[in-house]
Amino acid sequence: MNLLSIQIDGNKTAFRPGETVRGAIRWQYDDRPGQIDLRLIWFTEGPGPDDVGIIDSLATDDPSPADARSFQFRLPAGPYSYNGLSFRVRWALELLAPGRKDCTRLDLVVSPTTQPVEVPFR
């Protein structure tokens, strides 16, 4: 059985800019997966191609078939999570095993109110 998972401390998924995201990643394979990458990203969803910003990443080279790692990322000032008229800005933690083409993602919200900024502005 193959398994990739991300767990954030306190199961929190909404953060303010500047806060720290802490948690642990786990993977379980029958043999060595080659490499495990954890990335903190924001990305857009709109009519054109999506833009992606990789804010930070942690790479584990040649890990054992099943293991766990703790992680922590400090969130930058922006961009905020945003639900606009024509596009959205979203945040996520993405855990990849590139050699296995496996990936899992955990959506986050980053904004001063811990809710995505909505339109119209008031």
Q: How far apart are CA 98 and CA 29, in angstroms?
A: 13
* 110 neighbors 75 (Cβ within 8 angstroms): yes
Q: According to the binding rule CB under 8 A, does residue 3 interact with another protein?
A: no
Q: According to the binding rule CB under 8 A, does residue 10 interact with another protein?
A: no
Q: Hey, which residues between 50 and 89 contact another protein (CB under 8 A)?
A: 50-61, 63-64, 67-70, 75-80, 82-87, 89
Cβ-based neighbour number of residue 88 at 10 Å: 15
Q: Hey, which residues between 15 and 54 contact another protein (CB under 8 A)?
A: 17-18, 24, 39, 41-54
Bridge partner residues of 109 (DSSP) = 14
Amino acid sitting at position 120: P
Of 6, 3, 9, 1, residue with least CA distance to 69: 6
Size of the site for another protein (CB under 8 A): 61
Whichever of 10 and 47 has its CB closer to another protein, that residue is 47
Count of alpha carbons within 13 angstroms of residue 57, beta-carbon side: 15
Of the residues 20, 65, 99, 103, which one makes contact with another protein according to CB under 8 A: 103
* 80 neighbors 89 (Cβ within 8 angstroms): yes
What residue ranges bind another protein (CB under 8 A)? 4, 17-18, 24, 39, 41-61, 63-64, 67-70, 75-80, 82-87, 89, 92, 94, 96, 98, 101-105, 112-113, 117, 119-122
